[in-house]
Amino acid sequence: MAGPLTVPWMPPHDPGTPALSVVDMHTGGEPLRIVLAGCPEVVGPTLLAKRRYMRQHLDHVRRRLMFEPRGHRDMYGAVLVPSELPDAHLGVLFLNNEGYSSMCGHAVLALGRFALDFGLVPAPPSDAQEALVNIHCPCGLVAAFVECEGGRSRGPVRFHSVPAFVLATDLLVDVPGHGKVVVDVAYGGAFYAFVSAEKLGLDVCSAKTRDLVAAASAVTEAVKAQFKINHPDSEDLAFLYGTILTDGKDTYNEEPTTNICVFADEQVDRSPTGSGVTARIALQYHKGLLELNQTRAFKSSATGSVFTGKAVREAKCGDFKAVIVEVSGQAHYTAIGESSCCSTSSSVFGVLTLLTVLQHFLPPNSLKKELISKTNAAAAAAASLQLCPTLFDPIDGSPPGSPIPGTLQSLPASGQYKGTKIQASYLNLGQL
């Protein structure tokens, strides 16, 4: 049997666009792409200033790693930066399909393991069973505790959150298509609206993902339009990140409670959402449904993965009564590699063309006609931006669409395309 493949050289690439070294991980099924090396310097005296700088000057790095052809619509990322806090081992900026989030629990769980294994923290004693990793997130300092053996991580990680609090309960909002809906808004490093899916006529455990996404997005937009989000520490943190639909089982129970988080630009979290679990624990504690150190299990309706969480102590955030929440999960490595840009490709910075079309999840009876129309429009837009034409070429032998510039005249009943996968026929997309 052949030995391991070694590649001592880089494939043809654009020397003017530095390669990015990345490590890919996942926690509860939710991906994390960590930039290990190659990112230009992120300038700023504070982490929040660095976040603003990256948004304004280095957004091409986010698009290159998150979007097609290197990423996908639901990819998530992290750029490591120095922290101004003396107790922090590292600082991090979180990347998603829309921009830059203030907190990400699944990423913190993965980064704790990564930091220990890649030597970003002092090596623990050889007999230590847990290592502390202080991670400075945009929302504040988060302590991660990494299970270890012989100085290396084993997988399970837990973290202690920033102070988590409830901003509003029983907030009545007018949601288009659903009428008046009562929601709660809570903070776990990021702000979320919480509502039982049942109030929107859905079962979070069995409804099609496209229907849950549509309902959650409608709630998010309604809350943004009708309620002002504020944070006592910084305006940079004062935004609604998304909506979490739950099974309504907020009263303490040893059985897992299920939810799904739709955040950023209709991005679906495969995990139970670490910052969402944090906020939901704070909400349950605020309502008297949970006591300190009562552990609850939270299940993702997207993948079935489970995080556990508990309120470990009371705290304050400005004038808000808050709690510090412990969230536990399992992180896994998936890949390590170099992200380069071919000198003959014009898709240097990443695109969301065909996949952006599919995000709309059109009704079955109109899908084929409208999908072709939207794909044509996307092709024209891509052509005007000189993006990579092969995004629309099939890779499973199905009849190809016209290259950019041009139009797509027909769609196969199913097929995998560069950039996305049509999982069922155009007459029934199934549960995406």
Q: Catalytic positions, please?
A: 104
End-to-end Cα distance, the chain: 39
CB-side neighbour CA atoms (13 Å) of 309: 34
Cite the beta strand spans of 289-319 per DSSP E: 296-300, 306-317
- Among residues 92, 91, 88, the alpha carbon closest in space to that of 132 is found at 88
Question: Letter for the amino acid at 427?
Answer: L
Half-sphere exposure of 276 (CA within 13 A, CB side): 31
Q: What angle do CA 251, 254, 258 make, to 5 degrees?
A: 65
Question: 157: which strand partners?
Answer: 146, 329
Angle at 79 between CA 77 and CA 80, to 5 degrees: 135
Phi-psi sector, 178: left (phi>0), alpha (psi -120 to 50), beta: alpha
Cα–Cα distance between 215 and 328 in angstroms, integer?
28
Q: Please enumerate in sequence order all residues whose Cβ is within 8 A of that of 6, keeping only pairs 6 or more positions apart, or say none.
A: none
Beta carbons within 10 angstroms of residue 52's beta carbon: 15
Cα-based angle 394, 62, 54 (whole degrees, multiple of 5): 165
Q: Find where tokens 């944090």 sit.
A: 278
